[in-house]
């Protein structure tokens, strides 16, 4: 199995983007969140993404946006598991990383969670895009409307080049100023403030994404404007 073959398989499984990052690229990851902390035999990370339908951004109700996000997240997880099975049949050991939950790290006081691997940073290291001030990964073609997944493997694969384009203009503060919870500062997100709307729990127990302004107001929501 080489990088080209694996990327083609991943796209055939339904991904819209796929890139490769060697484990050496993750040397600056926080302690405990390096691919080697998750899977000690890791040599490479296969990082992929699927587009999120954009029509839901125009809906007056937050339910369609929540719905498509949930479905796409499940699809990304499905791609990861199916890719693992194909790789294992070829003699490659593979570990699938969840696109969202579950995770382990939690600071209750600050309502702060971390996935076992930062998929946004993995996407950057695999050449899928660059980080915006809204902390979302922005792809040149699909903008910030993507959901990311990853599979860690025990073989060395050819790296994809890290992309280098300016996604946020220096004086742009749209996402920061429009955030109703004042959760953004251009570099990080205050999860405690953000969760009130991004993970709103109804009386019936449904979890709704009631706010997506950081995506909508971004000039790069549907692709890089450079």
Q: What is the mean pLDDT of each run of 10 residues along the chain (226 residues)?
A: 96 98 95 94 98 94 96 98 98 97 91 93 97 94 96 97 90 94 93 93 93 93 77
Alpha helices in 90-134 (DSSP H): 119-125
Identify the pLDDT of residue 226. 59
The per-residue pLDDT for 132 is 93
Query: Whose CA is closest to 16, among 147, 163, 152, 158?
Result: 147
The per-residue pLDDT for 224 is 73
Q: Quick one: pLDDT at residue 225? A: 64
pTM attached to this predicted model: 0.94
Is residue 71 exposed (0-12), middle (13-18) or buried (19+ Cβ within 10 Å)?
middle
**pLDDT reported for residue 165:** 85
pLDDT of residue 28: 92
> Domain segments of the chain: what residues?
3-153
E-only strand ranges, 58-189 = 94-97, 105-107, 112-114, 130-131, 137-138, 146-153
């Amino acid at each position: 199995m080489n990088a080209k073959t694996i990327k083609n398989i991943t796209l055939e499984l339904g991904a819209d983007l796929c890139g490769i990052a060697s484990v050496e690229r993750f040397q600056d990851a926080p302690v405990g969140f390096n691919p080697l902390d998750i899977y000690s035999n890791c040599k490479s990370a296969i990082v992929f993404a699927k587009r999120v339908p954009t029509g839901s951004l125009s809906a007056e109700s937050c339910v369609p946006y929540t719905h498509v996000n949930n479905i796409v997240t499940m699809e990304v997880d499905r791609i990861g598991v199916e890719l693992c099975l194909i790789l294992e049949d070829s003699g490659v050991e593979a570990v699938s990383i969840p696109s969202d939950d579950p995770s382990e790290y939690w600071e209750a006081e600050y309502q702060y969670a971390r996935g076992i691997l930062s998929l946004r940073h993995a996407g950057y290291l695999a050449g899928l895009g660059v980080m915006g001030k809204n902390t979302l990964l922005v792809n040149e073609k699909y903008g910030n409307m993507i959901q990311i997944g990853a599979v860690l493997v025990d073989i060395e694969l050819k790296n994809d080049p890290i992309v280098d384009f300016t996604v946020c203009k220096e004086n742009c503060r749209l996402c920061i100023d429009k955030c109703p919870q004042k959760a953004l500062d251009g570099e990080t997100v205050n999860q405690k403030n953000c969760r009130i709307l991004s993970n709103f729990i109804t009386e019936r127990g449904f979890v709704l994404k009631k706010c997506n302004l950081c995506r909508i107001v971004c000039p790069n929501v549907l692709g890089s404007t450079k």
